[in-house]
Each structure stands twice: as C-alpha cells, then as structure tokens.
Amino acid sequence: MRMAFAVLKYFPFGGLERDMLRMAEAARKRGHHIVIFTSKWEGNAPSEGIEVRILPLRALSNHGRMREFARKFSDAVRLDSFDVRVAFNRIPGCDFYFAADNCYASEMPRKHSPMLLRILPRYRTFLELERKIFSPDASTRIFYIAPRQKADFISCYGTPEERFFHLPPGIDDSCVRPPDAEALREAKRRELGVASDERMLLLVASNYRLKGGDRAVEALASLPEPLRKKCKLFFAGVPDGGEGRALAEKRGVGEQVFFLGGRTDVPHLLLSADLVVHPARAEAAGTVLTEAVAVGTPLIASGVCGFRNIVEEAGCPVLPEPWDQEIFVRTIASILEHLDEYAHRALTHASTVDFRRRADTAVDLMEQFGAFSK
C-alpha cells in the first residue's frame, strides 16, 4: 500500500514525531511505501522506503502555518494515489488522525476567558480544524492514547464512539531495559559527573515551562538541606540557559542544575537517573513516562498526564490537581528516602508489560482500512 503521513514539522526529540516515525518504520517493514509530508525536517533522513516531501510555507504565525500546511497537504494527496492518509496534526479530511494532543475545545476554556478566546485568531483556527476532524458528519478515524482524550472529544463534538481506536503504549526497542543495564547506568553517571552517593533527578521535555521545569527547579531548592545537597537535576531536551538557568541561580542551586539540550541517548539517561520528574502543566499522554517505567526507573508525575495510569500501575505517585508545590516537594523527598522500595516496584512492573505495540497496532488498523476501502 501507499501511505501518506502528514506532520507539520519533524524534529527527532518530540514524542509525536517519534511516534510518527515508528509507525512509518513499522509500515515499511511490512512492504508498504510511506511518504511523509512536512514543512521542515530536522535530523537524519529516514530509512529507504520512506520518502520525505517538503511543503514550504509562507505564513508567519503558528496557526497560519497550520492552516496553510493542511491546505497544501490536501492538494498534494489529491494529485497522487494513496491508500491511506494519516494526520499527526489537526488536518481535516484524512483517513486517520493521531490524537497526540488533548481536546482543544475542552482545554482552552479552562485556561482563558470566553472574551479572550473570541478574539484570538489562533484559537479560532485550531478549533475550526479540530471541529472538522471530530464532527459527527466527518469520517476520520481517531487514534487515541489516553481515556480522557476520547471522553473529552465525544463530550465536545458528539463524535461517534466507533470512530475511536485505542493505541497501547509504544516505545523504541532501545528503551527496553537491557541485560547490561547496571553497567550502562554506571558509565553514564560517570560521564555526567554523578557520584555513587548522589541522587540524579531527570526531566525530559522540549518545553521548559509547559512540562513544569520551573516546578522541578523550585522543588530541588526546597528539599531539606542534607537531601538537597546530594541531588543534581538534569534537563534533557530543554536548551541551556534562559529562564531555567536564571531561576536555578536565583534559588541558589545553579551548580546542581544541568541543561543537556536535545539528546539521542535518552534511554541511557533514564537508566542513569534515580528519579524521573514530570510535573507537567499539560500533557496529553507523556511517552517519557512509559519509557521510564520500561527501564525500571522510579518516577513522579502530575495528575494532568494522560499516562498517569501507567505511572500508578508501576507503584509510583501521581500528584493530585490542582497543583500543590509543597506536596510535590514532600513526595520527592519521600521517594528519595525510600528509593530502594520504589526502584524494586518499578523494575518488577517493567518485567511484566509489553510497551512496544503502538506502532504495530496502528499499522494493523491502517492495513484493514486500506484493504476495505479498495
């Protein structure tokens, strides 16, 4: 089959982008030809059998670029012959939409006043695109990854339930705990300058504020002094400097906070950490939470995370909403004081769950659709 994938831009450190490429690779291995349409591609070229076509954009605003990309993609696939069209951003008219984000119509009114939303062109554009996908009159099938997403979309749009297809967790093989995990962990900690008696906290995200980077820095600074002195906080994905560096210096923990930028060794960083922190303000799913559980590293997450159930199943804490920073600090301190217990829970759970079925499940459904539509 010929499959068209649409993603506004590709960079190798985004969860949505990695999911997209895993699905493309899974389809390629089954003999399908994949064409990825995007406005920008960063990082290495994909495997042979996966074609990348760049759709240049002229719009300057994010919502303008999204609207232009949706139009150009629709025009491009009309000129070619594809058995399946899959959108990874809000692009109407496709056969499948991968819902990596929460329901816009549900989320935005909780963050902004109705008056502000009425005048924001960004809100109107994304809402219009989302409405066209989830309208009861549309035919797009929806891949969803967290139960809350499905409930919100149905509540806001009345989308028929039979158009929703749940995808299980999906991670790279490299994220599964390897037999030489302890050796890899020790090597990475030496590389990062983390001593055996120190505690390494890790936050993996490309958006510092949205994923709660400031909450993590404040928590480190607020830990009881003997414990705080033993801790180092690492950011993977967040670039160096800027808001996070300034806050760390202001709170007196500048020498204990490290910004690693975009990384290709996230699985090894997860292995080397004592605790993964993910105090996100918004998180439709949280692939890194699955990756942390898969390697057996203890973690703590905010209650907004779509994959909070995966964290709880691993015996790790999910913090209630509304957010309480003091509870976050106390919970981190408690985990670090009982680290062996939490590590045992996480490792035990990691040995019982298959975290790699998402891409194959998605391609199964694409194949069923493509065969049925012929």
Cβ-contact 55, 74 below 8 angstroms: no
| Sequence-ordered list of residues with C-beta below 8 angstroms from that of 192, at least 6 positions apart, any chain | 200, 232, 234, 258, 272
Does the pTM surpass 0.85? The reply is no
Task: Give the single-character DSSP code of 273.
Answer: -
Report the alpha-carbon distance of residue 127 to residue 28 in Å, rounded. Answer: 33
Report the alpha-carbon distance of residue 157 to residue 130 in Å, rounded. Answer: 9
| Sequence-ordered list of residues with C-beta below 8 angstroms from that of 305, at least 6 positions apart, any chain | 278, 280, 283, 285, 286, 289, 311, 318
pLDDT of residue 329: 98
pLDDT of residue 116: 82
Phi, psi of 225 (to 5 degrees): -55, -50
Which amino acid is it at 310? I
Please give the chain's pLDDT, 374 residues, in tens: 999 999 999 998 888 998 999 999 999 999 999 999 999 999 999 988 899 999 999 999 999 999 999 999 999 999 888 999 999 999 999 999 999 888 999 988 888 888 888 888 989 999 999 999 999 999 999 999 888 899 999 999 999 999 999 998 888 777 888 899 999 999 999 999 999 999 999 999 988 999 999 999 999 999 999 999 999 999 998 876 689 999 999 999 999 999 999 898 999 999 999 999 999 998 888 889 989 998 889 999 999 998 888 899 899 999 999 999 999 999 999 999 999 999 889 888 888 877 788 999 999 999 999 887 65
The sheet carrying 96-99 orders its strands as: 50-54, 33-38, 2-6, 84-87, 96-99, 141-144, 164-166
Report the alpha-carbon distance of residue 69 to residue 85 in Å, rounded. Answer: 15
- Computed on alpha carbons and rounded to an integer, the radius of gyration of the chain in Å comes to 21
pLDDT of residue 66: 96
pLDDT of residue 200: 98
pLDDT of residue 334: 97
Report the alpha-carbon distance of residue 57 to residue 60 in Å, rounded. Answer: 8
